[in-house]
């Protein structure tokens, strides 16, 4: 399979010279099983160009089938959907997967993204056949030849991590999540940053530990772990309640899960290319000195990683 990055940025698209190399589009990754339909993870602004590329294939004739796995519906993970060209062509079949909400059907959330007065084309006017699939953590399901599993993350309003197994290889997409040490992020708005390293209520600590254990288990032995590393350690200490991790957190998960490659992802909007270079160098040194036997990559727009039988 091939894994290709179309958007690697977190929170907000950031056009400009200082992001030309890593890219300024928000989250979107394409997983392409060999000879099969694409499985897209997240629909930030990066999905616009992916959609255009897909229109050069069967999707341009209204004969394509695609699946989109949504980590969560925060704007930077869905804002490209109304600009996804295959939606506008009759005959295409698109399956959208995301976590079930307690109070609202998934479709209604996506419909409200494009209803008047936010966008000129409502969901009901799209010509492709769009099916919404609600998931809960732990659900296992097939997409074509691929097997997909999911587990929940520590993020406001709850995000999901996905693992895709196909062609004798696997990839895990883990964005967005805070580490599992300082605060439990669910439905409540947390106004004041909690103390990093401070004592936790035992019940909360147990819930976080279980969430992390499920994630480590899902990541076990994967060929490629894509992980939210938006923060530096200093930035995390100031905003532990924002729901993002550092490369240090990602390395600990990668180490415990014995992954083969770790990919830094969901870069902070204010991070310049030169700063991102420094971060990558720094953490390559960290794992070399620690004697880790996995590789560290940094996601950039256009980066393609070939895994498994295609390798």
Partner 1 sequence: MSGQTSGMIVKFYGVRGSIPAPGPETNEYGGNTSCVTVRTSSGHLIIVDMGTGLANLGTSLLPTEFGQGQGKATILLSHSHWDHIQGLGFFPPVFIPGNQFTLYGHAKSSSMLEGILEGQMNPNFSPLYTLKNLGATFEVRAMTGSTVVEAGGARITGVPNPHGSTTALAFRIQEGDRSFVYASDAGYPDSGPSKEALALYKDATVLLHDTTYTPKDQLRRRNRGFSSYVEAASAAVTSGVSHLVMFHYDQDYADTDVDALRDACRAELDRRGGQKILLTAAYEGLELPI
Chain residues that interact with partner 1, rule: CB under 8 A: 9, 11-17, 19-20, 23-25, 45, 48, 73-75, 78-80, 83, 101, 104, 109, 112-113, 116-120, 156-157, 187, 189, 191, 242-243, 269-270, 301
Question: Least separation, in Å, of the C-beta of 158 and partner 1?
Answer: 10
Residue 303 to residue 301: CA distance in whole angstroms: 6
Query: 38 vs 82, which CB is nearer to partner 1?
Result: 82
**Please, what is the minimum distance in Å from the beta carbon of residue 285 to partner 1?**
29
**Minimum CB distance to partner 1, residue 209 (Å):** 24
Residue 259 C-beta: closest distance to partner 1, Å = 28
Closer CB to partner 1, residue 113 or residue 181?
Answer: 113
Looking at the Cβ atoms of 11 and 222, the one nearer to partner 1 is 11
Q: Which among 139, 208, 135 has a CA at the least distance from the CA of 177?
A: 208
Rounded-to-integer distance, Cα 8 and Cα 26, Å: 6
Go through 59-98 and write b for each residue having 16 or more CB atoms within 10 A of its CB, e for each that does not.
Answer: beeeebbbbbbbbbbbebbbbbbbbbbbbbbeebbbbbbb
Cβ 270 vs Cβ 278: under 8 Å: no
81/251 with CB nearer partner 1: 81
Q: Give the nearest distance from C-beta 72 to partner 1 in angstroms.
A: 9
Strand extents, DSSP E, 186-287: 224-228, 261-265
| H-run or E-run covering 162 | strand 160-166
Q: How far is the CB of 167 from partner 1 (least distance, A)?
A: 31
16 vs 291 by CB, closer to partner 1: 16
H or E stretch covering 209: helix 202-219
Please write down the HEC assignment for all residues of 278-309. HHHHHHHHHHHHHCCCCEEEECCCCCEEECHH
The residue (of 12 and 58) whose beta carbon lies closer to partner 1 is: 12
Contact 276, 267 (CB under 8 A): yes
């Amino acid at each position: 399979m091939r894994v290709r990055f179309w958007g690697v940025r977190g929170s907000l698209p950031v056009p400009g010279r200082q992001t030309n190399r890593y890219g300024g589009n928000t989250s979107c990754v394409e997983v392409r099983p060999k000879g099969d339909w694409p499985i897209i993870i997240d629909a930030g602004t990066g999905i616009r160009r992916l959609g255009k590329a897909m229109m050069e294939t069967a999707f341009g004739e209204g004969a394509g089938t695609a699946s989109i796995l949504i980590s969560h519906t925060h704007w930077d993970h869905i804002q490209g959907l109304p600009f996804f060209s295959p939606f506008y062509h009759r005959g295409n079949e698109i399956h959208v997967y995301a976590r079930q909400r307690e109070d609202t059907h998934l479709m209604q959330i996506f419909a409200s993204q494009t209803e008047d007065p936010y966008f000129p084309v409502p969901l009901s006017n799209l010509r492709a056949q769009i099916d919404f699939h609600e998931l809960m953590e732990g659900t296992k399901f097939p997409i074509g030849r691929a097997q997909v599993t999911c587990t929940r993350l520590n993020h406001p309003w709850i995000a999901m991590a996905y693992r895709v197994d196909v062609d004798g290889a696997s990839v895990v997409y883990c964005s967005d999540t805070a580490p599992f040490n300082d605060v439990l992020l669910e439905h409540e708005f947390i106004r004041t940053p909690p103390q990093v390293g401070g004592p936790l209520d035992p019940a909360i600590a147990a819930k976080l530990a279980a969430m992390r254990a499920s994630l480590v288990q899902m990541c076990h032995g994967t060929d490629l772990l894509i992980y939210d590393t938006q923060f530096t350690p200093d930035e995390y200490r100031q905003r532990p309640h924002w729901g993002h991790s550092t490369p240090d957190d990602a390395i600990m998960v990668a180490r415990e899960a014995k992954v083969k490659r770790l990919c830094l992802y969901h870069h902070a909007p204010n991070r310049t290319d030169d700063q991102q270079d420094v971060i990558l160098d720094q953490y390559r040194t960290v794992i070399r000195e620690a004697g880790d036997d996995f590789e560290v990559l940094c996601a950039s727009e256009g980066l393609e990683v070939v895994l498994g039988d295609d390798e």
